[in-house]
């Protein structure tokens, strides 16, 4: 028999005022292919979440429009939204990550690029592209394709679940993109990708969709097209602030890192 | 205002049986929404439905796979819930089925266990994609269309208030509460197109296909066609529509 226990507290703050607070706890016992799940309480886990929530509240930026604080088994994350654009961060990284978000807080939405051009993926945002193009296919046991020889993507996969009543699924625990001897030339003209709103991978069509937030546009391409478009990379992996991954309705944070990456046109 | 819910459910999800018991309450104080678990035991064990019945339904669905048609996802659930909001108490029994069948580039979505076999047979015979001048959408297939609509009476909303007949315009009068953990939101429920026009024969929609398409049967032949939800030609009293 395997057991899984969870406690979570989440709070929604709008313009610095508490709007919602919820406590969740439960325990799942699995024997073979049967799970018995109840909302049993583990006091130690709840106490760890209360401590993490104190830390989250102390770190919450005062100028954010919408902040969701989540303490899950004592781990603290916060999703911060300004002007319709969001990041996912932790108390440790919030100050640095807000430097990425604040420039867009008062601006009009960045314009959609007028015409396709090579893309330069900043701030570790290429991790989202490869989360969809390599991570999800690996979770689903889709036949791998060939990627540039200098590109390395480390995405350990294990059984994970969001809550006690969920069925564990093969999910990425993190995704780290690195390069070894990659070519690099900054293209001109180019589109500089700064933040990404979300993405998806459909195993039926092998199509990856990336919804870029800054600047606002959407990419739809097959894995093969993406692999063929990868042109170069520079430097060490950078932590990207913002991958909350949803599959079968189960949302999990996936720590994501990537170097500066250059791709040819993707539309 | 305090809302409480006690629930038990059993579901079969892609090969795993999950039995869940939980209870919780939600309250709204000065505009702040709070939710937390509470003690259960209100609903006796076994009332949520039989795992054997859920497994039998799921296994029946799995037997529908054939040739190059795959079953991508099967979820079968049965549950019972007791709700309480201020002085109103009501109970609810639910049965849900979600099935995704795939063949070639098509993913067909089904939410009725009774029709899975028929849809699977149709998908296996599908000849390709084709546009039709009109298609007939039967009442059991729910799609959101652009036309005059109304909320039909039936059941209670997230605050235990009756859902009443109302033209879909302006702010919805009722609130949707999918879980005690979620703040209720205004939403139209039991919606249908207001009957108009004249129904006439057309290829019949059998199931929805991912990407705003549908599987249709026409003269014993089967095709995938694009659904034109912004072009409702007629709507009938039973909820059927001619697109």
Residue range A236-265: average pLDDT? 92
Q: How far apart (Å, rounded) are the C-alpha atoms in residues B146 and B230? A: 5
User: Which residues form the domain of A32?
Assistant: 2-104
Count: domains in chain A: 2
pLDDT at B49 (0 to 100): 67
Which residues in chain A have Cβ-Cβ distances shorter than 8 Å to B16?
33-35, 167
For chain A, give the percent of residues with pLDDT over 90.
Answer: 81
Residue A85 lies in a domain: yes
Compare all CA atoms of chain B with the CA of A163 and give the residue at the minimum distance.
Answer: B20
Residue A253 is assigned to a structural domain of this protein: yes
pLDDT digits (tens, 9 = 90+) for A71-84: 999 899 999 998 88
DSSP state of B113: G
User: Which residue, among B3, B7, B10, B16, would best test binding to A if mutated, counting the most A CBs under 10 Å from its CB?
Assistant: B16
A43 CB within 8 Å of a chain B CB:
no
Number of CB atoms found within 10 A of residue A155's CB: 21
- Cβ contact (<8 Å) for B16 and A34? yes
What's A102's DSSP letter?
A: G
d(CA B181, CA A9): 11
Which of B8, B9, B18, B98 to mutate: most A Cβ within 10 Å? B18
A67 occurs within a structural domain: yes
A78 and A133 in a single domain? The answer is: no
Same domain, A140 and A53: no
- pLDDT bin (cut points 50, 70, 90) of residue A112 is confident
With bands split at pLDDT 50, 70 and 90, how would you rate the model's confidence at B64?
Answer: confident
- Distance, in angstroms, between B21 CA and closest chain A CA? 5
- Is A100 in the same domain as A125? no
pLDDT in tens, B153-201: 999 999 999 999 999 999 999 999 999 999 999 999 999 999 999 999 9
- Please report which helix (H) or strand (E) contains residue A53, including its range: helix A43-59
Residue B43 has pLDDT above 70, yes or no: no
Does A88 fall in a domain?
yes
Per-residue pLDDT at B30: 92
> Are B21 and A37 within 8 A, CB to CB?
yes
Q: Tell me: do A99 and A149 sit in the same domain.
A: no
Q: Where are the alpha helices (DSSP H) in A181-240?
A: 223-229
| Residue A111 domain flag | no
User: Are B32 and A38 in contact (CB < 8 Å)?
Assistant: no
What is the widest separation between alpha-carbon atoms in chain A?
58
**A55 in the same domain as A170:** no
- CA dist., res. A199 & res. A133, Å (int): 10
pLDDT, tens digit (0-9, with 9 covering 90-100), for B11-42: 999 899 999 999 999 999 999 999 999 987 76
Whether A126 and A240 share a structural domain = yes
Residues of chain B above pLDDT 70, percent: 96
Residues A222 and A190 in one domain: yes
pLDDT, tens digit, 9 for 90 and up, residues A197-225: 899 999 999 999 999 988 889 999 999 99
Pair of tokens at residue B211: 């990407």
Q: Give the pLDDT of residue B48.
A: 61
For residue B34, list chain A residues with Cβ-Cβ distance below 8 A. Answer: 20-22
How far apart CA A170 and CA A177 sit, in angstroms, is 20
Q: Looking at chain A, which residue has its C-alpha nearest residue B21?
A: A38
Q: What tens digit of pLDDT does each residue of A6-17 get?
A: 999 999 999 999
pLDDT for the residue A109: 65
Average pLDDT estimate for B199-216: 94
Instruction: Quote the percentage of chain B above a pLDDT of 90.
Output: 78
Q: Residue A176 domain-assigned?
A: yes
Cβ of A20 within 8 Å of Cβ of B34? The answer is: yes
How many Å apart are CA A24 and CA A6, to the nearest integer?
A: 8
Point out the residue among A25, A37, A41 whose CB comes nearest to the CB of B20: A37
For residues A82 and A18, give the distance between their C-alpha atoms in angstroms, rounded to a whole number: 16
Question: How confident is the model over A79-105, as a mean pLDDT?
Answer: 90
**For position B183, what pLDDT does the model report?**
95
Nearest chain B residue to A9, by CA: B36
- Find the CB nearest A39 among B17, B23, B32: B23
**pLDDT mean across residues, chain A:** 93
**What is the residue whose two structure tokens read 């429009």?**
A65
B45's tokens: 């064990």
Given A104, A127, A154, the domain boundary residue is A104
Write the DSSP symbol of residue A134: I
How close is the nearest chain B Cα to the Cα of A103, in Å? 30
Last residue of a domain, one of A48, A69, A104: A104
Contacts of A95 (CB under 8 A, 6+ apart): none
Q: Does B40 sit within 8 Å of A39, measured CB to CB?
A: yes
Asked if residue B44 has pLDDT above 80, the reply is: no
Q: Say yes or no for a CB contact (<8 Å) between A20 and B16.
A: no
Query: For residue B134, how many other CB atoms are within 10 A of its CB?
Result: 14
The minimum CA-CA distance between A166 and chain B, rounded to whole Å, is 8
Q: Are residues A132 and A238 in the same domain?
A: yes
Does residue B113 have a pLDDT over 90?
A: no
Q: Is B16–A24 a contact, with Cβ atoms under 8 angstroms apart? A: no
Q: Which of A104, A134, A153 is the last residue of a domain?
A: A104
User: Do residues A139 and A69 share a domain?
Assistant: no
pLDDT at A71: 97
Tell whether A110 is covered by a domain.
Answer: no
* Within a domain: A84: yes
- Are B18 and A22 a contacting pair at CB < 8 A? no
CB contact under 8 A, A39 and B22: yes
Q: Which of B114, B194, B159 is nearest to B5 (CA)?
A: B159
A126 shares a domain with A8 = no
Q: Reduced to 3 states, what is the DSSP secondary structure of residue A164?
A: coil
Contacts of B12 in chain A (CB under 8 A): none
B4 CB-contact burial (10 Å; exposed 0-12 / middle 13-18 / buried 19+): middle
Distances (CA, A) of A162 to A23, A250, B84, B134, B218: 14, 5, 27, 43, 44
**Together in a domain, A98 and A155:** no
Answer yes or no: do A16 and A138 share one domain. Answer: no
Average pLDDT of chain B is: 92
Contact A117, A264 (CB under 8 A): no
Contacts of B58 in chain A (CB under 8 A): none
Q: Is the pLDDT of residue B65 over 90?
A: no
This prediction's pTM: 0.89
Q: In the A/B pair of chains, how many CB contacts fall below 8 A?
A: 68
pLDDT score, position A110: 66
Q: Does A123 or A114 have the greater pLDDT score?
A: A123
């Amino acid at each position: 028999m395997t057991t899984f226990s969870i406690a979570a507290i989440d709070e929604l703050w709008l313009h610095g005022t508490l709007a919602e607070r919820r406590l969740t706890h439960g325990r799942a016992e699995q024997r073979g292919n049967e799970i018995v799940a109840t909302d049993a309480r583990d006091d130690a886990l709840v106490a760890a979440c209360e401590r993490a929530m104190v830390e989250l509240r102390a770190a919450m930026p005062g100028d954010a429009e919408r902040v969701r604080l989540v303490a899950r088994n004592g781990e603290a994350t916060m999703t911060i939204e300004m002007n319709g654009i969001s990041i996912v961060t932790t108390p440790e990284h919030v100050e640095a990550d807000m430097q990425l978000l604040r420039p867009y807080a008062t601006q009009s939405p960045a314009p959609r690029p007028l015409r396709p051009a090579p893309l330069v993926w900043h701030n570790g945002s290429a991790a989202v592209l490869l989360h969809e193009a390599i991570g999800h296919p690996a979770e689903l046991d889709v036949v791998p394709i060939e990627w540039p020889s200098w590109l390395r993507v480390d995405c350990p996969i294990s059984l994970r679940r969001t809550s006690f009543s969920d069925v564990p699924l093969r999910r990425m625990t993190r995704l780290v993109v690195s390069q070894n001897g990659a070519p690099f030339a900054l293209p001109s003209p180019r589109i500089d990708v700064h933040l990404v709103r979300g993405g998806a991978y459909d195993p039926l069509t092998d199509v990856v969709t990336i919804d870029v937030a800054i600047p606002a546009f959407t990419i739809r391409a097959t894995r093969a097209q993406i692999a063929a478009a990868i042109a170069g990379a520079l430097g060490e992996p950078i932590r990207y602030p913002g991958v909350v991954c949803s599959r079968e309705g189960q949302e999990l944070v996936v720590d994501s890192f990537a170097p500066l990456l250059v791709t040819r046109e993707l539309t | 205002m305090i809302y409480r819910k006690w629930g038990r459910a059993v579901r079969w999800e892609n090969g795993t049986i999950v039995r869940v018991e939980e209870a919780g309450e939600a309250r709204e104080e000065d505009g702040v929404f709070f939710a937390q678990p509470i003690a259960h035991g209100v609903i006796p064990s076994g009332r949520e439905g039989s795992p054997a019945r859920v497994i039998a339904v799921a296994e029946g669905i799995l037997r529908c796979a054939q040739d190059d048609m795959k079953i991508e996802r099967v979820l079968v659930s049965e549950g019972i819930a007791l709700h309480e909001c201020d002085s109103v108490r009501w109970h609810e029994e639910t049965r849900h089925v979600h099935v995704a069948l795939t063949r070639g580039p098509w993913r067909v979505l089904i939410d009725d266990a009774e029709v899975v076999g028929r849809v699977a047979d149709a998908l296996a015979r599908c000849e390709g994609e084709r546009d039709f001048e009109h298609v007939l959408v039967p009442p059991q297939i729910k799609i959101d269309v652009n036309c005059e609509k109304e909320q039909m009476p039936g059941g209670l909303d997230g605050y235990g208030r009756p859902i009443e007949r109302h033209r879909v315009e302006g702010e919805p009068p009722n609130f949707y509460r999918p879980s005690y953990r979620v703040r209720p939101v205004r939403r139209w429920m039991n919606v249908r197109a207001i009957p108009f026009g004249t129904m006439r024969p057309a290829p019949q929609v059998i199931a929805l296909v991912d990407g705003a398409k549908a599987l249709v049967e026409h003269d014993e032949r089967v095709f995938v066609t694009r659904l034109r939800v912004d072009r409702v030609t007629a709507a009938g009293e039973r909820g059927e529509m001619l697109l």
